[in-house]
Amino acid sequence: MLSNLAELNLGYNNLSGVISEDHFAGLMNLKSIELSYNNLELIIDSHWVPPFKLDRADFSSCHLGPQFPKWLRWQKGTSALQISNTNLVGRIPDWFWTTFSDAKLLDISFNQLSGKLPPSLEFMSLITLLMQSNLLSGLIPKLPRTIEVIDIYRNSLNGFVPNFQAPQLQAAILFSNSITGTIPTSICRLQNLLVLDISNNLLSFELPDCGRKELKQLNPSSNHSPRVNSTSSFSLKITTLLLGNNSFSTGFPLFLQQCPSLIFLDLTQNKFTGELPGWIGEAMPNLVMLRLRSNNFSGRIPIEIMELHALRILDLSNNNFSGAIPQYLENMKALTGTTTANKTVLANPFVQEYTDNKYMYSDMFSDSISVVIKGQLIEYRENTIYLTSIDLSCNSLTGEIPQELSSLAGLINLNLSSNLLSGNIPCKVGNLRSLESLDLSKNILGGGIPQTLSDLTYLSYLNLSYNNLSGRIPSGHQLDSLKADDPASMYIGNPGLCGDPVPRQCPGPPGDPPSTKDSARWHEDGLSQLDFLLGSIVGFVAGTWMVFCGLLFMKRWRYAYFGLLEKLYDRLYVVSVVAWRKWSRTIR
C-alpha cells in the first residue's frame, strides 16, 4: 500500500513465505527492489503486468522458477538485474536480450538454463554479464563493445564466433567449458584485458604470439606503421593468465613476451615442449606464480628464474628438466620471509571485482589451483596468495641441493622428490622456519640427516624415503610427532639409517639426543674435566721448572743431588754383581 515507495531493500535476512502480485499492486513508484538471500518464493501469474518500472532488481537465491518469469518482459530500461540461483530451468527466451538491452549488469548464473546464446549481443549496453554454472551451449557470441566482464564458466560452450571482439573487456572467465580449437588472434586487440581464465577446456595448438604477423592481420591498413613493424612497443595488460588442463603444444608461448604485467601464470597439464627461454625474468618481472606442472618441458632450469624477486609459487614438477638446481635462490626475495619482501599486498587471482557507474560487485569464482603438498593434492582458492611453494619433483635434476636454499625462511612447501639429486641434505635446513611440508624422497642423497630438522617447529609432513641416507635418525620437537600411525615410512628405503622409528638399532649405547637440561649438565661436567686437565699440566710444568731452577742456582742442592745419584748408582752396581754371581753358581 506504500504508493510512494521507491526503494525496497529486504536482502540478506531470514524471510520466508510466498510473494504474489498482490504484494506489488500499489507500488506504482517502485524503482529498486532487493530481496536477495532470503527463503522467499515468488509465485506470479504469467499474464500479470507490473505497475512499476524497475531500475534495479535483485532476486538472487529467491525461488522464481522453474519457468522464466514472464513479467520481467515489462521491465524495459532496467539497468541491473540479478536472478542468480533462482531455480530457473529451460531456454532463455528471445525477448530477454532485447528487453534488457540497456542493462549494465545481468546476472543469471547458477541456474539450469540451456540452449544457445544469440550469435551477437553487440546491440546491448552491458558492462558485466554473469552466466556461470548453467547448461549453455554453442559459441561465445559477439559481445557488446561496452562489456568489461564476462563470466561464463562451467557451461558447455564450444568456441568463439569469428572475429571475436570486445575492446573494453577486462576479465574473461571461461574455464570448465568445452571450447575447442585455439585462442583467437583477436586477443591481441584486447588492450584492457587483465584476467583470462580459459583453463579446463579442449584448446590445442599454440597461442597467438601477438607479433608482427598477427598485428598486420588485425590492422591491415597500418602495414607501414612503426607500431606494427616492431613488437617492442606492443604489450598487453594481462595480470592473470590461467590456461591449465588443455592440449596446448609447441614451445613456451612467445605470446608471454607481450605480457610485462603478468602476476599469475598457470600452464599446467598441457603438452608444451622444449626448453624454457632465458627471457622469462625480463619479460615478466612481476610474476608471483609460475606453474608449468605436467608438461613436456626439457633442458636446464634457466637461472633467470631466480631473478623473479616477487615469485612465491614455483611449480615445474612432472616435466623432463635436467641439470642442477640453479644457484642464487636467495634472490627470490618473496620466499625469504623478510619484512621488506612481505610488504607487497596482492590481489587474489580468484576474486574479481566488477564495477559499473553506480556500484561495485565482488565475486569469488570457483576456479582453483591444485598443489601437491603434505603428500596429497590440495585445492587452493582464496588462500592462494598466502602459499609459498617450490615444487621441482618428478624431473631428472642432478647435483647437490644448493646451500642457498636455507635462506628461504618464508617457504611453506618444498618438494624435490623423484629426481637424481646427490650429496648431503644441507646442514642449515633448520633455517627454513616456516616449512610445513618437506619431500626429498626418491633421490640418491647420502650422509646423515641433520639434527637441525628438529628446529622446524611448523613441519607437519616429512618424506626422506628411498635415498642413501645413513647414521642415527634425529629426534626431538616436531620429528617425534610426524606420521604417528607409521613413522618409519618417512625413512623407508634407507638401509643405512638406524634408531627410532626404524627397526635397525644404532651401535653403541642407545639414547636420545640430550634435552636442554641434560645438555647444560653435560656442558658443566665437560668444563670441570677440562679445568682439572689444564690445572694438572700447569702444575707439572711449574714443579719441573722449580726443581730445575733450584739445581741451576743452588750449589749445595747440586752437590747433594748428584751425591745421592752416585750413592744410588754404587748400591745398584754392587747388588747387581752379587746377584749375578749367585745365579751363576746355582747353574753350575
Whether residue 268 lies inside any domain: the answer is no
| Segment 235-286, tens digit of pLDDT | 899 999 999 999 999 899 999 999 999 999 999 999 999 999 999 989 999 9
How many other CB atoms sit within 10 Å of the CB of residue 299?
A: 13
Whether residue 335 lies inside any domain: the answer is no
Whether residue 558 lies inside any domain: the answer is yes
| Segment 472-494, tens digit of pLDDT | 999 887 788 887 788 889 999 99
Instruction: Report phi then psi at 312, rounded to 5.
Output: -115, -30
- Of 1-15, 113-127, 151-165, 379-393, the poorest mean pLDDT is in 379-393
Indicate the number of domains in the chain. Answer: 1
CA distances from 350 to 42, 84, 119, 175, 381 (A): 33, 19, 29, 12, 6
Whether residue 267 lies inside any domain: the answer is no
User: What does the pLDDT read at residue 165?
Assistant: 85
User: What does the pLDDT read at residue 212?
Assistant: 54
The alpha carbon of 395 is separated from its chain's Cα centroid by a whole number of angstroms, namely: 19
Contacts of 549 (CB under 8 A, 6+ apart): none
Amino acid letter at 196?
L
Q: Indicate whether 225 pLDDT > 50.
A: no
Q: For the residues of 332-387, what is the DSSP string, one character each?
A: -GGGTT-TTTT-PPPPPTTEEEEE-SS-EEEEE-S--EEEEETTEEEEESTTGGG-
Whether residue 551 lies inside any domain: the answer is yes
Whether residue 565 lies inside any domain: the answer is yes
User: What does the pLDDT read at residue 17?
Assistant: 95
Is the N-terminal amide bond of 487 cis, ω within 30° of 0?
A: no
What band does 523 get if pLDDT is binned at 50, 70 and 90? Answer: very low
Choose between 344 and 167: higher pLDDT: 167
Q: Indicate whether 454 pLDDT > 50.
A: yes
User: What does the pLDDT read at residue 518?
Assistant: 41
Assess contact for 100 and 108: CB atoms under 8 A.
no
Whether residue 518 lies inside any domain: the answer is no
Mean pLDDT within 27-55: 93
Q: Indicate whether 361 pLDDT > 70.
A: no
Whether residue 211 lies inside any domain: the answer is no
Q: For the residues of 451-511, what is the DSSP string, one character each?
A: GGGGG-TT--EEE--SSEEEEEPP-SGGGGTTTTT-GGGGTTT-TEEESTTSSPPPSSS--
Q: What is the mean pLDDT of the chain?
A: 84
Write out the residue range of the structural domain in which residue 557 sits: 526-587
